[in-house]
Amino acid sequence: MKKILTLVMVSALGGIFTLGAYKLFLEEEKPVLVAAENTNANFLPTSNTNALFSAEEKIDFTVAAENTVNAVVHVKNVTLSSGQFTMQDLFSGRSSERAQMGTGSGVIINSDGYIITNNHVIKNAHELSVTLNNNKTYTAELIGADPKTDIALLKIEADEDLPFVTFADSDNAKIGEWVLAVGNPFNLTSTVTAGIISAKARDLSGTSRQSFIQTDAAVNPGNSGGALVNTNGELVGINTAITSQTGSYVGYSFAVPSNIARKVIEDIMEYGNVQNGILGIQGGALNSIMAEKIGVPDTEGVYIDSVVEDSGAEKAGVKKGDIIKEIDNIKVSKFSDLTGHLSAKRPDDVVKLKVSRDGDIKTIPVTLAKTDIFSMPLVGTIKNAKSSDLKKYNVTYGVKITKLNSKYTDYWKRNGIEAGCIITSINDMKVKNIDDVQKALKAQTDNETLRLEIINSNGDLERYNFR
């Protein structure tokens, strides 16, 4: 009995020492919260979100989703790429061209089968097909596309009236408003995600030419060309891009506003190309640093650094130093606010500018002009020539080079070409204005030599061929 008691005591003491060692050496130290006596907690007021909406008032996405999924389609694009020619190809008589397939989304915009999508979804297409939500597949025809806005228009011939989505006025879309993104991410058809409008007039390029709606609705590869709709199921935008280091959604997605998309496809259907209305100003957005530099009190708006000669802005009385605060009653905080609104306008449209001039606010109606400035990468900036420009070089037609591309300035100057010289022909087509230039370049195939005829500074006709 004594041996048993002794053994129990030894075991107990051993357990105590072991536990003490564990506490001392092995157990993780935990922080201790010490509260002073008689200290009352500070409470911040919070809103009771459950009290904001009754059961009947809570936002319902189901109707918008049901109305949209049947009008969003799966777009398949088959392109041909030239692979390395092998001996097997030689003996079998096969072409070295290989078919590659890309996929995206599209939105039916009327019952006749017109479909809007992204230009990058259908780029370089050899074959285009569209699959509806009911699994019917049709061959699609490309009606037209605009790489600048990344919008394209397709047409299918269906044997029935098709469901479609109506356009909303994207200018009226509000930051914080609920939206749904509908598309085919990762080839998963009819996928609906929800989010809010996070920002408007986003420019991802840094050129102030883009004006995207930013949302936090999940958009992934395959969603491109799909619908961004409001809770009424109306089209607010065309899902176009994400910002991601992984290639997949990380919280930000971007859509072309519906007003811009609608204008582009209407131009394609009516004119065959996009009609751009030009305001005729050059400048930049204001901030505190810029405002201090130029000596103005405003830190928001677009500062006009120069007004283009003979433009609608000049004819309307817009002046250098004016600060654009609003356009058509829409606030202008940054340059993309301005360009985004103008992207939905055409030549001869009238816009109302509210400008600050020497502390006074003025409202100036401006009639937008047709595009008369164009950029040719190998040459530089060109514009429609005046009669005085043509008379200087003793020619009756042509377009004027206004600025040489800095990369090729030395080459052109060695050949007697400088700003003010006249281009008279592109690819053997006479060019009398910017429209002719665009038509000539559009007709050029990828592998075709670019042929230019230019009157040099001495008045001599020079011919150039570029691969």
Least confident of 30-44, 264-278, 383-397: 30-44
Q: Apex CA 374: angle with CA 392 and CA 255, to 5°?
A: 165
User: pLDDT for 120-140, tens place per residue?
Assistant: 999 989 999 999 999 999 999
pLDDT for position 42: 43
pLDDT for position 448: 85
What is the helix (H) or strand (E) element at residue 266, kind and residue range? Answer: helix 258-271
d(CA 438, CA 207): 22
Q: Apex CA 312: angle with CA 310 and CA 318, to 5°?
A: 95
Catalytic residue among 120, 198, 211, 311: 120
Three-class DSSP category at 32:
coil
Give the chain's radius of gyration (CA, Å): 32
- DSSP state at residue 204: S
Whether residue 29 has pLDDT greater than 60? no
User: pLDDT for 369-402, tens place per residue?
Assistant: 887 778 787 898 898 898 999 999 999 999 999 9
Whether residue 423 has pLDDT greater than 60? yes
**Is 224 noted as a catalytic residue in this protein?**
yes
pLDDT for position 246: 82
Whether residue 38 has pLDDT greater than 50? no
pTM here is 0.72
pLDDT for position 324: 97
Residue 449 or 85, more confident: 449
Residue 241 or 80, more confident: 241
Compute the mean pLDDT over every residue in the chain, rounded to the nearest whole number: 84
d(CA 327, CA 337): 9
pLDDT for position 45: 46
Catalytic residue among 146, 150, 267, 372: 150
- Confidence band (pLDDT; 50, 70, 90) for 74? very high
What is the helix (H) or strand (E) element at residue 181, kind and residue range? Answer: strand 178-183
Whether residue 60 has pLDDT greater than 60? yes
Catalytic residue among 224, 253, 343, 425: 224
Average pLDDT score over residue span 227-242? 95
d(CA 16, CA 12): 6
Q: Are 432 and 423 in contact (CB under 8 A)?
A: no
